[in-house]
Amino acid sequence: MAERIAIITGASSGLGREFIRQLDHFGEDLFPAEKDGIPVRPFDAFWVIARRRDRLEELAKETKTPVRVLPMDLTDKQAIEDLSALLDKEDPDVRLLINAAGFGKIGSWRDIPLAQVDQMIDLNCRAAVDVTQICLPHMQAGGHIMEICSTAAFQPFQYLNVYAASKAFLYRYSRALSTELRKDRIRVTAVCPYWIRDTEFIPVAQKTGDAAYIHGFPFSDTVDHVAARSLSDASLGLSVSTPGPVCTLHRFFSKLLSSDLLMWIFEGIRRL
C-alpha cells in the first residue's frame, strides 16, 4: 500500500508550520481514514518544504507523525523538477496538499525592487501551480488540496498591487480546479484569510522604503485560529474558506461593490 502523505509548503514558519502542528494533533478528526474497515491515522508522514533546513529539522523533532524534510526554494525550477522526480520515484498517495508558501511586500511600485516583484509572482503563482500539477497524478478520490490565497484576492489593493494580483490569480485557479476535479472526488479549497498578526508576514511585508503605506492592521487574526478554521472548512469540502469575520464580510461585499469603491474605502482604512 502506498505511503499516505500530506505535503505542506512554506512549512518552516507561520501558517504552514501551524497547519502541521494541528494536523499532527487533530488529523484523525479532520480527515478520518480507514483500512479494511478499521480507523487508521490519515497520514503516514508529512513531507515539509521550505528553504530553511534548520527550521524544518526543529519541526520534525516536535512532531509525532514522521516528517520528511525537503529544504527547497520553490522559486527555483530545479526544485520543482527534483520534487516531481521524488514523487514519481516513490509514488506516494498524496492525501493532502497545502500550498502555504507565499511572499508579499507592501509599498509603492517605486519602492519594491524588480527582483521582489518577480519573487512574489513566482512563489505565489507559478510555484503553487507547479506543485499542484506534479502532485495531482499522485492523488486519489478523497484527496484534498488547500491553496492559501488571501482576502486580498477579492479586490485590487493599492500599495499591495502585485501581492493582491498574485492571490487573485491563485484564487481563480483554485476555483476552476475545484470544478475540474469534482468528478475525481478530489476537493480544492481556496483559503482566504485576513491579516494574521503573529507570523513573519506583516513585518517582512512592511520592510519597503521609509513610508508606512498601511498604518495599522485592526481586527487582525491569529495563526492558530486561521489554521483551525480553514482545516475545518476543508474537511467539510468547502471550495472557499474565509476563516474569520473580516474576510467573510469582505468576500460578501466584494460581490456587491465596484473595485473603485472598494479601493476608495481601503484608502481610508490604510491611513488609520
pTM for the predicted model, two decimal places: 0.94
The CA distances from residue 120 to 60, 106, 170, 181, 205, in Å, are: 27, 11, 12, 27, 11
Residue ranges per structural domain of the chain = 4-211+219-252
With 90 as the cut, is the pLDDT of residue 87 above it? Answer: yes
Angle at CA of residue 108, ends 103 and 111, nearest 5°: 75
> Mind listing the pLDDT tens digit for each residue in 138-184?
999 999 999 999 999 999 999 999 999 999 999 999 999 999 999 99
In percent, how much of the chain has pLDDT > 70?
Answer: 99
> What H or E segment, with its residue span, contains residue 70?
strand 67-71
- Crossing angle of the two packed helices 14-30 and 223-235, in degrees rounded to 10: 40
Range 4-211+219-252 classified under CATH 3.40.190.10: no
Over residues 183-207, the mean pLDDT reads 91
pLDDT in the model for residue 1: 74
Only one residue has cell 503605506, namely 213
| pLDDT tens-digit series, residues 19-72 | 999 999 999 889 988 777 777 789 999 999 999 999 999 999 999 999 999 999
- Nearest alpha carbon to residue 47 among 1, 89, 2, 83: 83
pLDDT in tens, 232-254: 999 999 999 999 999 999 999 99
